[in-house]
């Protein structure tokens, strides 16, 4: 066979796609012996293995034909009921099961919302920094993504109002009020009200992403934005952090007017989410196990968080600043000006630890002196060792 050039011509959007820098970093750093504080993997010790095994056996004994057949694109009805009831009871929302769409992880929720709302050149507002996976989900639809100035309580309301009121109407603002990946920020009650006021006044739609809402370690976060301006919010939730990410199970809650389009996008994307997995998760949930399981996860991660805070205070004072997160999975560090986290990563790996440089999390104007540390994957003694190694690298570079 003669070698010929590929006949495939890529779509313009494909030229914009890039390999996930985090996945590339993880390939290098997740090798034995490295203390990785890079990946955002939930601790496998938190997976309810016993409950999953029993639930799988029960589903495949009691309803195998239904669990293995094609199913509704909307999702498994009892699980939609559960999600609505859970959000109404726990989050002060007012959701009907008819607004719940089960998705293949909440990453799919990001893709579907983007697919339905973004035209080429549409303006989309994001936090500074923001979740990298969302940038990857939005980018193929060719929006203009604009970073809104943010502090440790989220985007600044005046900056959000300015961005919403300037130029073309933004299609949505993508917001993570609870323990954001990567910054760990949580919106205060006052900040939530201020942002909701902007949304109301400017007619600004919101895409609220809350994968970490249940992972609070001090006090529960205030009510979601979706509980305050429900008609203006698409809300994304996930079972990845409270049960297990390998199942790829999340959900979208959409205003009734928007739901049919998201459903059609879902049908086109993968027909429906694995009904076997949906039924297994429902079997686990119906027992009420989250009521004890989630507090146990909180207790574990709080210890990890405290270990990292103590290690940072011991080793990194004067080299970096950070705000102790009150939930979620991450510390966000700002290094002394002049230090470049990307450039220093090879030295850190050589020293025996890994982190994620912060630049990947910026839609605009990346800050090279930032980095993300995960405290959930490594045990507390490894956290302490990893932070000590990081301190050594920074001292040598400073």
* Residues between 252 and 281 that touch its own copies (CB under 8 A): 255, 257-258, 260-261, 263-265, 267-277
Minimum distance from residue 213 beta carbon to its own copies (Å): 19
Q: Is residue 99 involved in binding its own copies (CB under 8 A)?
A: no
Asked if residue 52 binds its own copies (CB under 8 A), the reply is: yes
Q: How many helices (H) and strands (E) does the chain have?
A: 14, 15
Contact 304, 376 (CB under 8 A): yes
Residues 295 to 334 in contact with its own copies, rule: CB under 8 A: none
Q: In this complex, which beta carbon is closest to its own copies, that of residue 14 or of residue 296? A: 14
Please enumerate in sequence order all residues whose Cβ is within 8 A of that of 365, keeping only pairs 6 or more positions apart, or say none.
147
61 binds its own copies (CB under 8 A): yes
Among 24, 64, 96, 149, the residue binding its own copies under the rule CB under 8 A is 64
Q: Which residue has the tokens 């004994």?
A: 61
Does position 6 bind its own copies by CB under 8 A?
yes
In angstroms, what is the minimal distance from the CB of 260 to its own copies? 7
- Taking the least distance from each CB to its own copies, the nearer of 41 and 310 is 41
Sole binder of its own copies in the list 14, 28, 85, 296 (CB under 8 A): 14
Number of residues in contact with its own copies under rule CB under 8 A: 89
- Where do the DSSP E strands lie in the chain? 35-36, 100-103, 123-126, 144-147, 150-151, 154-155, 172-175, 206-209, 233-238, 250-253, 320-321, 330-335, 353-354, 356-357, 370-374
**Contact with its own copies (CB under 8 A) among 18, 90, 96, 166:** 18
- Residue 125 sits in the site that holds its own copies (CB under 8 A): no
The answer to whether 279 and 263 have CB atoms below 8 angstroms apart is no
Residue 230 CA: distances (Å) to CA of 69, 191, 235, 263:
34, 17, 9, 18
Binding its own copies (rule: CB under 8 A), the pick from 133, 154, 184, 327 is: 133
In the complex with its own copies, the residue whose CB is nearer, 136 or 370, is 136
Query: Shortest distance, CB of residue 372 to its own copies, whole angstroms?
Result: 16
C-alpha distance from residue 326 to each of 47, 280, 306, 349 (Å):
22, 31, 10, 28
């Amino acid at each position: 066979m003669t070698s010929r050039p590929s006949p495939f011509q890529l779509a313009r959007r494909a030229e914009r796609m890039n390999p996930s820098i985090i996945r590339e970093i993880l390939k290098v750093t997740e090798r034995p012996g490295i203390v990785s504080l890079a990946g955002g993997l939930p601790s496998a010790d938190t997976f309810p293995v016993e409950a999953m095994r029993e639930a799988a056996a029960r589903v495949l004994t009691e309803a195998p034909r239904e669990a293995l057949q094609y199913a509704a694109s909307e999702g498994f009805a009892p699980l939609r009921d559960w999600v609505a009831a859970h959000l109404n009871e726990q989050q002060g929302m007012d959701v009907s099961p008819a607004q719940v769409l089960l998705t293949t992880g909440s990453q799919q929720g990001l893709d579907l919302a983007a697919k339905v709302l973004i035209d080429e050149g549409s303006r989309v507002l994001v936090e500074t920094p923001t979740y990298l996976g969302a940038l990857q989900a939005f980018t193929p639809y060719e929006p203009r993504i604009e970073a809104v100035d943010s502090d440790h309580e989220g985007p600044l309301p005046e900056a959000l109002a300015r961005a919403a009121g300037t130029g073309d109407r933004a299609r949505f603002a993508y917001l993570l009020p609870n323990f954001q990946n990567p910054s760990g920020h949580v919106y205060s009650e006052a900040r939530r009200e201020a942002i909701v006021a902007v949304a109301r006044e400017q007619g600004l739609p919101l895409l609220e992403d809350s994968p970490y809402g249940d992972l609070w370690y001090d006090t529960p976060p205030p009510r979601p934005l979706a509980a305050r301006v429900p008609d203006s919010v698409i809300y994304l939730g996930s079972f990845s952090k409270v049960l297990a990410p390998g199942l790829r199970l999340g959900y979208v809650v959409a205003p009734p007017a928007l739901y049919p389009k998201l459903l059609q996008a879902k049908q086109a994307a993968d027909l429906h989410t694995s009904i076997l997995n949906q039924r297994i998760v429902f079997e686990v949930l119906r027992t009420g196990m989250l009521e004890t399981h989630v507090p146990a996860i909180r207790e574990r991660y709080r210890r990890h968080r405290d270990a990292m805070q103590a290690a940072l205070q011991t080793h990194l004072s004067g080299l970096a600043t950070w705000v102790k997160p009150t939930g979620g999975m991450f510390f966000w560090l700002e290094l002394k000006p002049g230090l470049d986290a990307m450039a220093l990563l090879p030295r850190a790996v050589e020293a025996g630890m890994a982190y994620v440089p912060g630049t990947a999390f910026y839609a605009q104007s990346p800050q090279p002196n930032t980095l993300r540390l995960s405290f959930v994957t490594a045990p507390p003694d490894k956290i302490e060792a990893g932070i000590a190694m990081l301190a050594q690298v920074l001292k040598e570079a400073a």
